[in-house]
Structure 1
Amino acid sequence: MRYLFDDFEFDTDRRELRRGSDVVAIAPKVFDLLDFLIRNRERVVGKDDLIDAIWGGRSVSDTALTTRLNGARAAIGDSGQEQRLIKTLPRKGFRFVGVVAEARQAPVAGDGQIEHARPVPAFPDKPSIAVLPFQNLSDDPEQEYFADGVVEDIITALSRSKSLFVISRNSSFSYKAKAIDIKRVGRELGVRYLLEGSVRKVEKRIRVTGQLIDASTDMHVWADKFDGDLEDIFDLQDRLAGSVIGAMFPKLERAEIERARRKPTESLQAYDYYMRSKFSIYQWTREGSVEALRMSKLAISLDPAFAVAHASAANIFGQRKGFGWIEDAEKERAESRQLAERAIQLDPDDPVVLAHVAEVYSYVLEEPETGSALAARAIALDPNLALARLWAGWAKVYLGAHDAAIEQFSAAIRLSPIDPHLFVPQTGMAFAHFFSGRYDQALAQATTAIQRQPNFPGAQRIRMSSLAMTGRISEARLACEAALQIDPTLRISSINKAPFRRAEDVKKLSQAWAIAGVPE
């Protein structure tokens, strides 16, 4: 195998390193170390990995390893200061980060047939995706423009998310009308996921199908179909793009969480710890919240400029407050604020960062005016971000703008209709309906939320409140017992810890809790 990078050619069969036409002198162990790093360039290689591969697991001093590493860098024109090709990740290991092209056969001299290797990009340190041209399955070839338009809308919408690495339209469309080998395309574009699909027009109806595929395994992560009318073609393109993205994102997040959980601990990077923190958050347990915070702090220690990790860590305190797990209120509020402020400093234009920090300000810090403004900015940057719509809705609930809250919660559910955490916007809808005096609708939303997540405190409390205000006192008392089982510290006085701005909302909720039997 020949690996081509910069102006070097690294030939493992001949055990030669060339720069142009010159052979670079390189010691055997240094060659082996460089070979191992290049072959494993898609991951961080630990010290133990290198010792096992190059010295057969024998005891080797740190000095010997450092000497070989310095020799490898010197041979390819790199240094410990620059780390242009071989990067050191403190306390984790090493990674070859140069762009490499692979050529399996040596060039043949004299016959004019020289193999041109295609560069093989390294995977980014976040989810990477390419949207391939959708097939036009209609009889009408004129619908080709519609299929291309849907794909371009999806690429544009995905590109708004700073949590994704999205391949540009020009690269994606180079595969148009070609037979696709999923694994090969994934390698060539340097992406982990591919989104492909089709468009079929029948009379005045159109159907778009989409499937998200893990390019490394050729396994389907998600698939769905979407139907619409052709009365307004451009509006339909926008809605279809939003629907595809909203349905795909939860599956993509779950796939990334599972990938991070499967990785060996010694090869974890900041992003992997961040995804593990999300897994722990979604356990909805006290132990999970503690572990999530620990994972987030590990991610931040490896990458202090990781804005989303700061924002997500700040928002963990919201879960802790909601479930009654706060142990030192002032200390935890201060830590949440510090993390949130740092996240904004690091990236004030990332809509995911803004969405998380919006909830921190609205609920943890009890400043919903600031939270609402941050959520609005997140929506302006990415209208298809369900997370931003969710926390915008909660900010509106706290501010007493209940119809506006329902509008945002409805948008969040429409954008992410199969989200496993739908109980959060459903609970918000229940609160908004309750404060508006629509107790039956509030009860329906709360009941649906509890069916999805029985131990979610907000859903239990608003169901209890709705039962009380509809006169179903015995059921409200039973619901109160369930709420107290989840959070034994629940008191009517704790309503004052929530940032409800309208006095009539506080009065109504307090009245309902008293009827249900919540202690003073």
Structure 2
Amino acid sequence: MANKGIQRKLKVIFSADVNGYSKLMGYDEEYTVDKITAYRDTIALLIKNNYGRVVDAPGDNLLAEFDSSLDAIHSAIEIQRTLKTENGKLPDNRRMDFRIGINMGDVLHKDDRIYGHSVNIAARIENLADPGGICISKGVHDQVEGKLDLGFADLGPHSVKNIEKPVRIYKVLLNQGDTGKVVKSAKSKASIGRWIVVTAIALAVAVAGAGVWYQQLEPKLEPASMDRMAYPLPDKPSIAVLPFENHSDDAKLNFFASGLTEDLTASLSKAPDLFVISRSSAAIYKGKSFDFKQVAEEQGIQYVMEGSVRKEKDKLRITVQLIDAINGHNLWADRFDRRAKEIFALQDEIVKHVMVELQVELTQGASARVASRGTDNLDAWLLKIEAHGEFATFTREGMIRARELYEDSHNADPNWARPLAGLASVDWYEAKQGWSVSKEASIQSGIELAQQAIEMDPDEPQGYQTLGNLYALTGQGERAIALRRKAVELAPNDLAAVAGLATRLKDFGAEQEAVKLFEQAMRLSPKHPWWVPYAYGVALHLVGRKEEAIQSLKKAIALNPTHVLPQAFLTAFYADLGRIEEARKTANEVIRLEPNFTANRLIRSHTLHDPVKDAKFRNLMHRAGLPE
């Protein structure tokens, strides 16, 4: 039996909201409320003048209905052109850009309100519109085509929540020069780039021929909020590769899963037209409950990749999926079943072919070809992964163990460059810390190993990074910086490459450029390791931003409370500002951490290659109460 209080009608639904409304409220709540009230009154008047009716206006949203598609679009165009003029009078941080979506369909009327799928679709279409733009459904487009002095861009089918079939969307082209034009797509450079990363990865997985490709048309994930992004969304495709999980009882597969994550991240990071969150930032989600919305908002990215490995008897299964967190879509997922002895062949299919010639071609050759891992020996690869973990402890015991593992990895595959570069890194760090029997012998050994690694694989950045570090120990600043620049050229999205170059610039007098690069590195890795804010803090102090320098060192200490380095420099920074009580309190913590600490020894191992600067920091530490 029909409910007499509810009526069904065919209507054109108009949905609008403000782009970045939460951020505007954060700037100035009272101003934003006053401005949106004034804008809403303007919108309501223009809707009424075009024979429409405002149904509801909660918060920054506005819902209206029309009997005619032409009236709805006329209204939308007038609104956007009027608001564009008004926004032109305001500073950028005060602008209030509305997005408008228009759909046509059956709606339920009750108590002057409207309900139904058609209303929901209009809201979804609105989310696809640009700030200051208009998007419409195919039904509306078909009604107005040829009847208006404007053009359209066919954005293709889009999935809509709880609707079985995708909805075809058109963008209204508001420039008069586009009159009568219907183009296939009006994608921006950024959206083209996002298509590139999705297509490249998807095609690579399809090439593997082992999984069952499928598109999941219905979004089942809550979309991430652009307003809640911790960082502005980059203007190119942005992705985080989450740690692959081991779903079996075989502990050895932990290294395999970790290595797969690392290599996928490294391969994607080498493409300059992509923005890739570093492995260290993505690692914080390992073993924890999270949703893709949270990851996207915390890291400031659009795409999230995750996967798992499972071993059953002599079979290995790897699953991978790619999520568009902003639109709440599972873009693709695939499953690969292989015999365990074919593990590395499968790795090649997933990693080596993801960004091969296709990526170079789609980005007009702007990006370097993604380097292969360089080995087909699974044992060598797993040993290298374990060695890197030991090296990253930055302890004397960790370096001893890392050297053993890198040597084992090299013995397993003597033709692979990475273990040699790893051994060179151990030589560098032991020489830097004074742990070598002979500093000069360690530096020479490291230089020879790094040069071998570069000769073996000229496209592998780690050899250049390490060789640059070794030349820095000998005081050859220009040579060291040139090598670190080469590493960044090969891996422009790699945290270690970018922050490492910044560190060398800081050490050899180019502090201003160093500060900019540190900031770039920290954006690449919002959850960066402790040594990045430490080195950034030193660079900030050198350019005169002394209060910021203190805050950066405090962040480094919070990330690693047991390392003496940021604590020691913090004593110097406090002393330099005359905050002697804080300086002495921090100096006591330094002595607690390292009872045999001396300022001379620290400055020798962390020299700025400038006697005046080194002497200043050494004297400041002494003034704070640290032994010379």
Smaller-chain TM-score bracket: 0.5 to 0.7
Superposition deviation, residue 324 in structure 1: 5.5
The answer on 1:241 being equivalent to 2:349 is no
The answer on 1:397 being equivalent to 2:506 is yes
Q: Is the 8 A contact 2:428 2:466 kept in 1?
A: no
The alignment partner of 2:608 has SS state of coil
User: Per the alignment, do residues 329 and 197 of structure 1 end up closer, same or farther by CA in structure 2, a change over 3 Å counting?
Assistant: farther
User: Per the alignment, do residues 356 and 411 of structure 1 end up closer, same or farther by CA in structure 2, a change over 3 Å counting?
Assistant: farther
Q: Is the 8 A contact 2:384 2:419 kept in 1?
A: yes
Give the 5 Å matches for 1:113-512. Answer: 137=159, 140=169, 142=185, 149-153=193-197, 168=204, 171=207, 178-179=214-215, 212=241, 214=244, 241-242=274-275, 245-247=276-278, 251=282, 269-320=379-430, 325-362=435-472, 364-419=473-528, 421=529, 423-488=530-595, 490-494=597-601, 495-512=603-620
Superposition deviation, residue 279 in structure 1: 1.6
- In 1, Cα distance between equivalents of 2:381 and 2:284: 12
Deviating more after overlay: 139-148 vs 371-380: 139-148
Cα offsets for 1:283-325 (capped at 9, x unmatched): 3432222111111111112122221222222223444456564
Cα offsets for 1:46-66 (capped at 9, x unmatched): xxxxxxxxxxxxxxxxxxxxx
The alignment partner of 2:277 has SS state of helix
The amino acid that maps onto 2:450 is A
User: Per the alignment, do residues 240 and 300 of structure 1 end up closer, same or farther by CA in structure 2, a change over 3 Å counting?
Assistant: closer
Superposition deviation, residue 268 in structure 1: 6.6
- In 1, Cα distance between equivalents of 2:577 and 2:379: 52
User: Per the alignment, do residues 455 and 215 of structure 1 end up closer, same or farther by CA in structure 2, a change over 3 Å counting?
Assistant: closer
Superposition deviation, residue 457 in structure 1: 3.3
The amino acid that maps onto 2:440 is E
- Taking structure 1 as the reference length, the TM-score comes to 0.54
**Can you give the 5+ residue segments of structure 2 that lack an aligned partner in the other structure?**
1-156, 161-166, 171-184, 249-253, 262-270, 287-305, 310-315, 317-339, 341-376
Cα offsets for 1:422-444 (capped at 9, x unmatched): x1111111111222233222111
The alignment partner of 2:573 has SS state of helix
The amino acid that maps onto 1:399 is F
Cα offsets for 1:433-485 (capped at 9, x unmatched): 22223322211111110110122333122112111111122332332333344
The alignment partner of 1:283 has SS state of coil
Cα offsets for 1:190-227 (capped at 9, x unmatched): xxxxxx9999999xx9998967474985999999xxxx
Cα offsets for 1:152-174 (capped at 9, x unmatched): 25787x9xxxxxxx974984999
Percent identity among equivalent residues?
19
Superposition deviation, residue 241 in structure 1: 3.2
The amino acid that maps onto 1:410 is E
User: Per the alignment, do residues 201 and 417 of structure 1 end up closer, same or farther by CA in structure 2, a change over 3 Å counting?
Assistant: closer
User: Per the alignment, do residues 143 and 173 of structure 1 end up closer, same or farther by CA in structure 2, a change over 3 Å counting?
Assistant: farther
The amino acid that maps onto 2:214 is K
Deviating more after overlay: 340-349 vs 274-283: 340-349
Superposition deviation, residue 336 in structure 1: 2.4
Q: Is the 8 A contact 1:351 1:378 kept in 2?
A: yes
Cα offsets for 1:76-128 (capped at 9, x unmatched): xxxxxxxxxxxxxxxxxxxxxxxxxxxxxxxxxxxxxxxxxxxxxxxxxxxxx
Superposition deviation, residue 248 in structure 1: 5.3
Cα offsets for 1:376-432 (capped at 9, x unmatched): 11222232122111110111111111111111111111112123x1x1111111111
User: Per the alignment, do residues 385 and 470 of structure 1 end up closer, same or farther by CA in structure 2, a change over 3 Å counting?
Assistant: same
What residue in structure 2 maps to residue 53 of structure 1?
none
The alignment partner of 1:454 has SS state of coil
- In 2, Cα distance between equivalents of 1:388 and 1:379: 5
Superposition deviation, residue 239 in structure 1: 9.6
What residue in structure 2 maps to residue 52 of structure 1?
none
User: Per the alignment, do residues 287 and 211 of structure 1 end up closer, same or farther by CA in structure 2, a change over 3 Å counting?
Assistant: closer
Superposition deviation, residue 144 in structure 1: 7.7
The alignment partner of 1:417 has SS state of coil
The amino acid that maps onto 1:457 is V
Deviating more after overlay: 499-508 vs 294-303: 499-508
Give the 5 Å matches for 1:80-95. Answer: none
The amino acid that maps onto 2:277 is G
The amino acid that maps onto 1:355 is Q
- In 2, Cα distance between equivalents of 1:398 and 1:197: 46
User: Per the alignment, do residues 206 and 371 of structure 1 end up closer, same or farther by CA in structure 2, a change over 3 Å counting?
Assistant: closer
User: Per the alignment, do residues 462 and 290 of structure 1 end up closer, same or farther by CA in structure 2, a change over 3 Å counting?
Assistant: same
Superposition deviation, residue 504 in structure 1: 3.2
Superposition deviation, residue 151 in structure 1: 4.2
The alignment partner of 1:269 has SS state of helix
Q: Is the 8 A contact 2:480 2:504 kept in 1?
A: yes
What residue in structure 2 maps to residue 120 of structure 1?
none
Deviating more after overlay: 397-406 vs 146-155: 146-155
Cα offsets for 1:242-268 (capped at 9, x unmatched): 0xx125575479989x99xxx99xx97
What residue in structure 1 maps to residue 320 of structure 2?
none
The answer on 1:514 being equivalent to 2:550 is no
Superposition deviation, residue 176 in structure 1: 11
**Can you give the 5+ residue segments of structure 1 that lack an aligned partner in the other structure?**
1-134, 159-165, 181-195, 224-237
The amino acid that maps onto 1:446 is L
Deviating more after overlay: 388-397 vs 454-463: 454-463
User: Per the alignment, do residues 462 and 173 of structure 1 end up closer, same or farther by CA in structure 2, a change over 3 Å counting?
Assistant: farther
Structure with greater Cα Rg: 2
Superposition deviation, residue 365 in structure 1: 4.0
CA RMSD of aligned residues (A): 4.8
User: Per the alignment, do residues 292 and 365 of structure 1 end up closer, same or farther by CA in structure 2, a change over 3 Å counting?
Assistant: farther
- In 1, Cα distance between equivalents of 2:516 and 2:571: 24
- In 2, Cα distance between equivalents of 1:390 and 1:482: 27
Q: Is the 8 A contact 2:430 2:442 kept in 1?
A: no
Q: Is the 8 A contact 2:511 2:543 kept in 1?
A: yes
User: Per the alignment, do residues 153 and 366 of structure 1 end up closer, same or farther by CA in structure 2, a change over 3 Å counting?
Assistant: farther
Superposition deviation, residue 343 in structure 1: 1.8
User: Per the alignment, do residues 444 and 307 of structure 1 end up closer, same or farther by CA in structure 2, a change over 3 Å counting?
Assistant: same
Q: Is the 8 A contact 1:435 1:508 kept in 2?
A: no
